[in-house]
Structure 1
Amino acid sequence: MYWRNNVVIEQVSVTDRSFQYGDGCFTTIRVEQGQPVFWSLHKQRMLRAIERLKLKPIDWQLTERQLMKLAQSYQHGGIKIHLSRGEGGRGYSPDLEGDTLVTLSTFAYPSHYQALQLQGVSLALCETRLGLNPLLSGIKHNNRLEQVLIKHELEQKGYVDGVVLDLNGHVIETSMANVFWLKDGTLYTPNLSQSGVEGVMRQRVLELTEQWGIPTKTVYVPIETLFDAEEVFMTNSILGVAPVVAITDICFNIGDFSRRLQETLGQC
């Protein structure tokens, strides 16, 4: 489903800026029993991305109306909202006459995610590293070529996912999720001011730990710090919380904190 100026259109042009340059942003939302989960947090993040990328504002009433209409037909699935700056001629100039193009698409809940939540995830250590890009860090922009290359590496190695470092060797995230670890009563997660995506579920976990009075720190650390953790888990908006049971040949137990988060978030 696509629309511009409140009018539904049938197709996207080959001159669309997202197709040509990855010029836009997106978010993926879990749907449970016909309701989009954490919609307000997704909207807040998209508003930050729109401001950062200097996109023209969209009609949020129309977007929410169409989102809710799509969600009603799903008991367990997902919706992706994709924004493009719109159609433009040759060249990088973002000064366009048209409005932002909004796309909504649905997808089935990944069948293997429940097993990852219950049994945990074994992660590779990715050789492909993320560049440093503070202009775009945190937001979920449409240029995902780094993630494409990382996923290719993981598939060649036979892993579902892997820990990704930046060019300086700091832990940032996995190919599809944010990462957390516990050590001596403190919860840690990577600093994402230079690269990586600030996930909606990451935000929710940070809100919960603040409510629970658990010390939390965002840090730049090498992979050896994760190897020394007492408990590791990963999060994204579709997967929720999944314990990490191994990074390469370093093993971890599924901890009480991961299970507490899952129970609080309705996963078990």
Structure 2
Amino acid sequence: MAPVWVNYVENGLINPLDRGVAYGDGVFATMRTASADMLAEVLFLAEHIARVQQSCERLGIEWHASNQLLQQLNQLAQQYPQHCIKLLLTRGVGGRGYQAPLSANVTEVLSVHPIPEHYLDWQQTGISLASSPIFLGRQPLLAGIKHLNRLEQVLIKSQPLSSHHQDWLVFDCDGNVIESSIANIFIVKNDQVFTPAITHAGVSGVMREVMIDSLLGHDIAVMATQLTIGDIQTADHIFITNSLFGIIDVAAIDDFQFSRWTQTSRFRHVLSVNLSS
């Protein structure tokens, strides 16, 4: 069983009337710990906390990261290097109806998990994607937020993948490319980088934002825009990003093949997101 703390109580319990349980009323972040030179840390911790803060503000949940939370995150990084830490926040207990209480008594849940072993193989060899038959709904008020309502992703992952594919490429209901089921996606064409604009559907991951900033910082043009399957099919290179595996090349989508981008390994090194065995 994964180590879990609920409001700093190890193996604590969540109230059955918690709005996160009842309505998915909350947000979460998935962070990676890493160690270098005998020091351990949560990678991109400030960016994760900032995104959680912004997501809470968009949902009208009053929350700020306490010193106690930050201390525990740093302690867990020391105790569990090369692991995943999940931070989950709910609005707390709020009765039976949809109407949120005037003030939130936020529930904070921390859990620690191993990083999937196959992520190292994916970094080394790349992966193949298949187009998902299940589409994301369009809701600009929730687009970008890593909220607790993940039923679309549950349905997507419930579909069986062939042995030749490792994940799904996901579209919205208007046919726009949004993401993979677990990561943000980037395409490279004519030395320019493009990524879907997360304005009506999908999650804007911390690693996506870090990658965009790093590309721009290295004078590589990048644009967040509407992308279609036609853009995918004519791309020179494709890669995906998330906070646990960093950056991974996409070798194929459906029947279309792509060469690995020569810059992928460089940016993994620049951002210190290489996995090790």
State the TM-score, normalized to the length of structure 2: 0.92
Establish whether residue 64 from structure 1 lines up as the match of residue 66 from structure 2.
Answer: no
| CA distance in structure 2 between the partners assigned to 1:122 and 1:138 by the alignment | 24
Q: Name the residue aligned to 1:105.
A: 111
2:106 maps to amino acid: T
CA-to-partner distance for each residue in 1:168-193, whole Å, 9 max, x for gaps? Answer: 10000000000001111210000101
| CA distance in structure 1 between the partners assigned to 2:266 and 2:12 by the alignment | 45
Does the 8 A contact of 1:58 with 1:100 survive in 2? Answer: no
Q: Name the residue aligned to 1:2.
A: 6
Does the 8 A contact of 2:195 with 2:227 survive in 1? Answer: no
- The within-5 A match list for 1:46-57 is 46-57=52-63
The count of corresponding residues between Structure 1 and Structure 2 is 265
CA-to-partner distance for each residue in 1:16-54, whole Å, 9 max, x for gaps? Answer: 110100000000100012310000100110011010011
Provide closer, same or farther for how the CA distance between residues 233 and 12 of structure 1 changes in structure 2, counting only shifts above 3 A: same
State the TM-score, normalized to the length of structure 1: 0.95
Does the 8 A contact of 1:87 with 1:96 survive in 2? Answer: no
| CA distance in structure 1 between the partners assigned to 2:27 and 2:200 by the alignment | 18
Q: Name the residue aligned to 1:160.
A: 166
| CA distance in structure 1 between the partners assigned to 2:156 and 2:11 by the alignment | 34
Classify the secondary structure of the residue corresponding to 1:102.
strand
Provide closer, same or farther for how the CA distance between residues 97 and 212 of structure 1 changes in structure 2, counting only shifts above 3 A: closer
Classify the secondary structure of the residue corresponding to 2:63.
coil
- The within-5 A match list for 1:121-136 is 121-136=127-142
Q: Name the residue aligned to 1:174.
A: 180
Establish whether residue 249 from structure 1 lines up as the match of residue 255 from structure 2.
Answer: yes
Structure 1 segments, 4+ long, off by >6 Å, are 6-9
Give the percent of matched residue pairs that are identical in Structure 1 and Structure 2: 36
Does the 8 A contact of 2:53 with 2:64 survive in 1? Answer: no
Give 1:222's match in structure 2, choosing from 186, 210, 228.
Answer: 228
Q: Name the residue aligned to 1:11.
A: 13
Q: Which ranges in structure 1 are unaligned for 5 or more consecutive residues?
A: none
Does the 8 A contact of 2:61 with 2:104 survive in 1? Answer: no
Does the 8 A contact of 1:88 with 1:96 survive in 2? Answer: no
Give 2:267's match in structure 1, choosing from 251, 261, 264.
Answer: 261
Q: Name the residue aligned to 2:240.
A: 234
Shift of 1:265: 2.2
1:121 maps to amino acid: I
Shift of 1:148: 0.5
| CA distance in structure 2 between the partners assigned to 1:48 and 1:242 by the alignment | 27
* C-alpha RMSD over aligned residues: 1.6
